[in-house]
Chain A
């Protein structure tokens, strides 16, 4: 096979991997698919694996597949980044043709090592907050909480507008059935901070314009981890000095800018993604990928003892500050965790992937902004006004790759208390206005109803006397599912609200 064919093969694999990623993402819904683990990519991600095991101080069998990715790095360097990583593929596909060559001045590449070390040291101290910057969590979270809801909203709007045109109704019904039936979209997902998540992702893509694969070169902590392992990789870029005519084409073609004319057009194996763009453009076929046994040398941007110490310091200081934050002292009243997660100590197990938010059929599980404190940024919290915990669902526990949300059986989930409902008598219609309502009682799913209706004769604000049914919560029966708060017909804040237990 020629270099060009290899490159085409690489592009094909990239497309397949990205398609698989999206397919599994769409498949992450109630009633999970069984033939391939829906969280395959997270299982393959050694960064989340190592960090979660360090923080939880336990072996997580589901994440052991990350070892395969590390083995791949020993074999063929950062081939993961060039061939398999779906974020890397997205970066390749959105790369502007005109982007600048060479690195900016200074050791920017070491930034990713700093980030990696801080993540690992923080994990040792039981903190996983910075996994929000793992490439796969970025991609999954963005797709689940920003892109798909947007697609869904646009589809619904387009369908509703076009449905008014008679002849289009039949085809639209067909399209609707196919798209929603296939799980492409479903429900009416709506996520707080969807725009923020989309902007973060757009930022990662936009940095491509500064340097190709800016994210992978300078920032990606997973790339840094794989790069360090790649110091001992076997399969490597090799420029044949005899055949090379020093035209510089390969250096210009290299998306990670690691082919160095000053070093005889050699590449650093811990930066090279084996994308083969260099080999494909070489006019004399001087670039080859060959087996090497000698470890690659340490570069100036690789971690130094100083950087390691600095990272340790940052991690210690950061974790210390987070532990001293008010959120660590007392829970926010609205910190409603997914079923079983509170007792389970979610914070040091959650890798911030967003699988639970994707799977939650009501999109009640939302990325936390403030109720879990900075430490719990983008961890899942139930926001009952946006979606309730469905009495017929236990999907989040099944979807969670690390067991941060325990895989409760449906019966156990139905008994898991995640919050307690309180009635705001100043707003509740029967209490404040003396008129009937009872929506909360109607909705309450527990078999003996955690909301009781007391028939009372009351004086209405206008002076008349009437008999109304007033809802009252029986605390011991309430599981905090939040459907009462979700369905409360008042505008704005509900008159019945669920608080942390």
Chain B
């Protein structure tokens, strides 16, 4: 009797499991009937172009090419703050481009994406984003009434736990009231890239597209192939297959940018890494520049950051590629840049 019951139980469990699998794959397909892939697919969401949700964008009128929002009158298009306190730099730069309230509405779900590429060195080696900068951003977002602020990256060298800890970012985020999130494999899905020519679709962290606000906080540093890793290069942290991006890198990074469209880019140039990037490890390669660059236009922010290395935007292949796709401007003469001493 007992035996039969157990067998029956197992039979039912198997049927249930099969049913659940069928249901889940069915649901996944309903979500996006257009893309014929086996992997679960994210429907192109409104939030994937976050600028459409911003009042400033409405004021300027959302452009079909996805041009970044023009700031309200009086606000800078791009702000550069210089001074000793990273926290004060972040606050001043954000204030200059319209204040955090322009980007973070009460109740917003915010993701902050610093560069925590390896677990090897402390922040003084300038391989990972300055923890104070990240902490200051978390505090600003929470102050603006964000529902939650999550901070994440997917390191290529070492475990995320170790990298979060060694970079100092985990402590700073916790102190500011935010959460560190380990990027779990289940949350990656394949999304189409509507503007993509070389990349038609990509396996990407869902939340990077679904969050109300995505704040990109790269550290400016040297890179062997791209010359520099800046805001757009930092977006490689939210996709699954990074090595694939090394072919035709400039164009592919630009196309990835067209999908992610960060709400805001804050380039950490408190310390910059001049050579042997992106991993670093040698203090002699680190330059203290005490600078923060902020803009809603990721292309403009990256374009400005090249000047810290004595380069021009055209030296970094993904900047002209993104400008050509209409993702922003690399011509800083045409926009209002505010330089602030703090």
Contacts and interface: CB of A to CB of B under 8 A. Distances in A.
Interface of A: 30-31, 156, 159-166, 172-173, 176-177, 180-181, 186-188, 361, 390-393, 435-439, 441-449, 453, 469, 483, 487-489
Contacts of B20: 162
B24 A165 contact: yes
Contacts of B21: 161
Given A392-B166, A437-B225, A444-B279, 20 more contacts: A30-B162, A156-B186, A159-B185, A160-B185, A162-B24, A162-B186, A163-B186, A164-B31, A164-B189, A176-B186, A180-B182, A188-B185, A391-B120, A391-B157, A391-B158, A443-B156, A443-B157, A445-B281, A449-B276, A469-B225
Nearest to B17: A158
Contacts, number: 117
Given A156-B185, A164-B27, A453-B224, A445 B157 contact: yes
Given A161-B21, A163-B40, A165-B23, A438 B281 contact: no
B286 to A, nearest CB: 11
A447 B275 CA distance: 10
Interface string B16-31: 0000110111011001
Interface residues of B, number: 41
B282 interface: yes
A390 B157 contact: yes
Contacts of A176: 184, 186
Given A30-B162, A448-B276, A435 B157 contact: no
B313 interface: no
Q: What are the nearest 6 A-B pairs in CB distance? A: A447-B281, A489-B243, A159-B186, A392-B119, A164-B28, A447-B282
30 contacts: A156-B186, A161-B21, A163-B40, A163-B186, A164-B24, A164-B28, A165-B23, A166-B27, A181-B182, A186-B159, A187-B159, A188-B185, A390-B119, A391-B118, A391-B158, A392-B119, A393-B158, A436-B225, A436-B246, A436-B247, A436-B249, A438-B224, A438-B246, A439-B246, A442-B278, A445-B118, A447-B285, A453-B224, A469-B225, A489-B246
A352 B184 CA distance: 32
Contacts of B285: 447
A161 B157 contact: no
A439 B157 CA distance: 13
A153 B150 CA distance: 26
B264 to A, nearest CB: 25
Interface in B183-216: 184-187, 189
Given A165-B24, A445-B279, A489-B246, A483 B186 contact: no
Contacts of B287: none
Interface in B33-72: 40
Contacts of A164: 24-25, 27-28, 31, 40, 189
B315 to A, nearest CB: 14
A149 B325 CA distance: 44
A439 B247 CA distance: 10
A165 B279 contact: no
B184 A392 contact: no
A446 B282 CA distance: 9
Contacts of B280: 447
A156 B182 CA distance: 14
Q: By CB atoms of chain B within 10 A, which of A160, A162, A177 has the most?
A: A160
Given A361-B159, A393-B158, A180 B184 contact: yes
Interface string B227-245: 0000000000000000110
Contact of A446 (B119, B156, B281): B281
A165 B276 CA distance: 44
Contacts of B184: 159, 173, 176, 180
A159 B162 CA distance: 24
Nearest to A388: B157
A126 to B, nearest CB: 36
A453 B118 CA distance: 21
Contacts of B185: 156, 159-160, 188
B120 A438 contact: no
A30 B23 contact: no
A181 B186 CA distance: 15
Contact of A489 (B162, B163, B186, B244): B244
B120 A161 contact: no
Contacts of A31: 161-162
Contacts of A439: 243, 246
B223 interface: yes
Q: By CB atoms of chain B within 10 A, which of A165, A186, A445 has the most?
A: A445
Contacts of B159: 30, 186-187, 361, 390
A439 B245 CA distance: 10
B158 A172 contact: no
A441 B224 contact: yes
B158 A390 contact: yes
B121 to A, nearest CB: 8
B265 to A, nearest CB: 22
Contacts of B166: 392
Contacts of A159: 184-186
A445 B24 contact: no
A155 B47 CA distance: 29
A391 B244 CA distance: 23
